[in-house]
Amino acid sequence: MKNTKEILAYTVCEKFNNNIYEILQQRYNVSLQKDIIIVTLKDDRHIIVFKYGVYVAWNVDYETIKFFENFISDYTIEPLEQTLVDNLEYNYSDEFKIHLDCLTLDKNDILLKVSISNAIAQHLKIENFENIIQESIETNSLIPKELARTGKISLSKKEISKKMGELFLVKSQINLHYDLLDTPEFIWEYPEYEHYYEKTTKYLDINSRLEVLNKKVEVIHELLDMLGHEQNHKYSSFLEWIIIILIMLEIIMNVMDHF
């Protein structure tokens, strides 16, 4: 499409260091909108940075993005093994619309781009959560199958505790950051841009994906409950065997005393 420019979005880590704004100030022309960092480059190019590990580049060439990523790499917390990337295109016309991953903007306004970037960043963060929780579910999918087939779980108490710890970390990670997926403070501050944000979230299917994500979190919760019950059962069985052995020892000692 004529005069089309590119939007590239990246999720690189769990979150950026708290001093990422000051770090970027050392090299770039930056400004703050709420807790969103706007990096302004020349020729109407911007990189919009969200502290939860996502940045969205508008009309920025690959070499510049690569340099930017290398520059901030030392200020990431829990970097992802594989960066999540998404790309869209945009141009300008009289009416705002989205069709086939191409956004038509009705004005060249940095706050408009920030509102759209919020939706894109949430979209990528959801994808990150989806990958984490799906991997966890697949890793532990044999547990309920084994329980249904044999009536018990073959894992030791220590292995069950480790599984519970892993599942709890996944659940906590999502629950702790779930507020990131609510309507951003930026939109409450600038309600005139809500239309752009809402239309983009609708196009990216964010609300329905959140519902699916919630259901998958419930699956994790059920797995935790299942493992917890099994752990309690194993502990109860262990105590029962101790009691049986003690009773047997007492009987043997009484018999020996009798004779």
Residues with Cβ < 8 Å from 231, sequence gap 6 or more?
Answer: 157, 160, 161, 164
- Specify the pTM: 0.81
Please name the helix (run of DSSP H) or strand (run of DSSP E) that holds residue 7, with its range, or none.
strand 5-16
> Which pLDDT score, from 0 to 100, does residue 197 have?
96
**What is the per-residue pLDDT across 69-79, written as a single tens digit (0 to 9) for each?**
999 999 999 99
- One DSSP character per residue, 13-34 reads EEEE-TTHHHHHHTTSEEEEET
Classify domain 5-108 at the CATH topology level. TATA-Binding Protein (3.30.310)
Least confident of 19-28, 76-85, 203-212, 217-226: 217-226
Torsion angle of the four alpha carbons 69, 71, 130, 157, in this order, in degrees rounded to the nearest 10:
140
Count the Cβ atoms, other than its own, within 10 Å of residue 119. 21
Q: Name the residue among 37, 109, 20 with its Cα closest to residue 71.
A: 20
